Each structure stands twice: as structure tokens, then as C-alpha cells.
Amino acid sequence: MKDISQDMLTKFHESYEADKAAQVLHGALAKTNMMDLAYHPMKGAALKGAFTVEVKTRGITAQEQSGRCWLFAALNILREKVAEKCHMEQFELSQNYLSFYDKLEKANNFLEMVIEHAHAPVKGQLMQYVLRGMSDGGYWTEAADLVEKYGVVPKQVQPETYQSGHTDRFVSVMNRLLRKDAMELRALVKAGKDPYARKAEMMEEVYKAECIAFGEPVQQFDFTWQDKDHKFHEERGLTPQEFYRKYVGISLTDYMAVINEPTFDKPLGRVIAFHGGSNMAGRDMKGLNLTAQDMEALCVKQLKAREAVWFACDAGAAGARKEGVWDPESVRYEDLLGGFSTDMEKGKRLEYSASSATHAMLLTGVHLDENGNPDRWKIENSWGKDVGDNGYFVCSEAYFREFVYEAVILKSHFTEEQKKMMEMEPVYINAWDEDY
């Protein structure tokens, strides 16, 4: 290995001293938020305006200081079904209710993976992946599994708590508990003892801790509402599963995740699958890998059918949070820091960990150019109303092509050829190689 020499430092110093523009930028950055300086307002303004196709939704939600964007976006799809059926102007489903079961399922999956792989080296890649533990994060597959198993409830039945909106400390404490449990379960298995009685006790501890932090999930409730004509309605004694079947009235198995990940290990036209730490035990992540153009066409088709699209993207790339814009031309950190380039092909960006899907939201509109092709998209975010346009954002076509990695589409919108792709045997990858 070569060290940094004094000659190199001298050359760097002389180059910087000769660059007066760089010194001006230093003066600006010394007293200003980098995001504010990186934003080009005229380019961002060009993305604002009406949309050719726009789906009505019922308000902005706020995930607070939690990583539950994926669940908020999924429930915001479902709330529209309830609101339409009940003729309501405003409605929201309880995120806290399903967040409880999400963490419980993740803890169970963690312990099951520990038992299954008890003889794997603790410092091996597999166990190091497992020992990452649980997080607030997830994708459509996990949301669909939770809804189908546990149903949903109105938000007024199980509201947010401080802990449900500020989850870092709770998740951190739970992961310390789970890693201690992992050590104990591995020792039991290696000693030839049955680990499951002890595992049940461990799960009871997790359940109790969640009840204390978030409240115990409701088992039965009364649903009361007033419709837009101010007419009162009430139904008593519903279970969450009954409410889901009657008032949502759809099955999430009718949807399929589409991914665009052009990496060497993920062939196009095939379902890519893996079992991850965020899954339920016995369930896998699955997504049909298509081109960006095919994924876009399906998104437009679903929006034209007047249904929003759950999607996942890299929220850290080319984003101006306050202005509500995602666009590589509008947000230029590279220009601000000396004019270098971070451009990479989409697949290589994933392979080299330069990008990944970090946030999930809803596409609620699209603007089509004179040739009928999308050139900008309207987004319903879950960061509250104080950012963007009262909580709504916009992204350019360039951003969509490069930084959107997953979209969830009703299966009836797929072409016959794409439906046949779904029936093929999935291509399984290692969970630690996941990019979405």
C-alpha cells in the first residue's frame, strides 16, 4: 500500500489555492445547509404544475421518527378502498396496529433463522446477516403478508403512541435482547437440546415489551363513522380480519411487486426471490425483474385506472426535501463540491452499494409529453405536510429511471407475456445480496 506523501499534499494544496471558485464555495458552505445550496430552483420549478393523470387521495400521513414508510404507503392504498366504500372524505388506517405485529413477526423470523442455522459459523456471512436483527424497514411483500394474516383497523381504534413514532431506541433494545437470545438458542441446538420451549419464552418477552411500548393490538372493536353527507353509521363487534374483508374488500395477493435491478445476478423477465430478515417465517420476498420502460408502462396503466402505485426509491439521491423535488438536474451536490461525477449505470450503482431502495411512497399522478411518455411524476409522501407541496412531492423522469427500484401493480394490468414470467420458477439469491 502506498501512503499519502508530502509531495501529494503539496500538489493538492497548490491546486486548491489556484481554484478561486472552490474557495468561494467553501465560504458559502461554512454557513449554509448543503441541501439549500445544491438546489437549482428554476430547474425544480419546471417540474411543478398539473398532471395529465392524477389519482385523488385522502391526505398526507406522517411516519414521524420511524422507518415505517413502506407500511404507511401500503395502508394508504387500502384506506382509499375503505373511504370509497363508506363515502368518507377523510380516513386513515392504524399503522401502529400492524407495526406491532411486524416487529413480533420479525423477532420470530430472527429466532427461527438462528435455530435453522445454529451450526453456521457465527462470523460467517449468513449469521452476520441474521444478526443484523430487526428494523423498522420493509417492503410491499411484508406489508401484504401482515395485512392478509392480521387484517387492519381504523386509526381511531389503535392510535399512535410516542414510541410507535420514535422507534430507534425500542428497536435497538430489542436487538440487544434478540442477539443474547441467539447466543442461547445456538448453544441449546449444539448441545442437542430442543430449543422451542425456550424460544416461546423469548417471544413472550418480546410481546410484553411491545405491549408496553405500543399498546396491545385490539382483537375486536366497534366501527363508527360519518359519511360525507353527515349520515352516521355504526357496526359493532368487528375483528380486524372481518373489517379487512368487508371494508377493504380486496386481496393483496392480486398484486405483484415489479423491480428494475439490472445486476449480473438478477436476470430480466424472471421473479427474483430471497428470504430476508424482514420476512415472516416461511415467507419470501419476490419481485418480477423488468426493464425500467416496462415498469413505467405498468405504473402509468395503473394510474390511468385511477389507483395509486406503491413504489420504492433511493430517497437520498438528488432530493430537495423542503421543496419536495427529486431530480438529478435540480439537486447537484457534485457541482457544489468541486464538479466531480458520481454517474454510474443503474446496475453497477446497486452492485457497488452506491444506491439502494431506502424509502417507499405512492405515485398519485403522472404528466405525459406530446408523445404520451411520462416526463414527471406526482408523489404522496409520509413525511407530514410541512415539506414539499403540503406533503406532496414530484420527481423527474430522469430520477424515476435511475433511482426507482420497485413498484407494485395489480396483476390484471400485466401483459400475457409478463403473466407467464410470474409462473416461472423464481431465481433465488442470497438475502445479503438484496438491493430492494
Question: Could you give the residue numbers annotated as active site?
Answer: 69, 359, 381
What does the alpha-carbon distance between residue 376 and residue 265 come to, in Å, rounded to a whole number? 30
3-state helix, strand, coil in the chain (%, to 5): 45, 20, 40
Beta strand pairing call for 325-326 and 374-380? unpaired
Name the DSSP class of 62.
B
DSSP 102-161: HHHHHHHHHHHHHHHTTTS-TTSHHHHHHTT---S---HHHHHHHHHHH---BTTTS---
Name the DSSP class of 225.
E
What does the alpha-carbon distance between residue 88 and residue 382 come to, in Å, rounded to a whole number? 20
Three-state SS sequence of 10-48: HHHHHHHHHCHHHHHHHHHHCCCCHHHHHECHHHHHCCC
What does the alpha-carbon distance between residue 364 and residue 376 come to, in Å, rounded to a whole number? 11
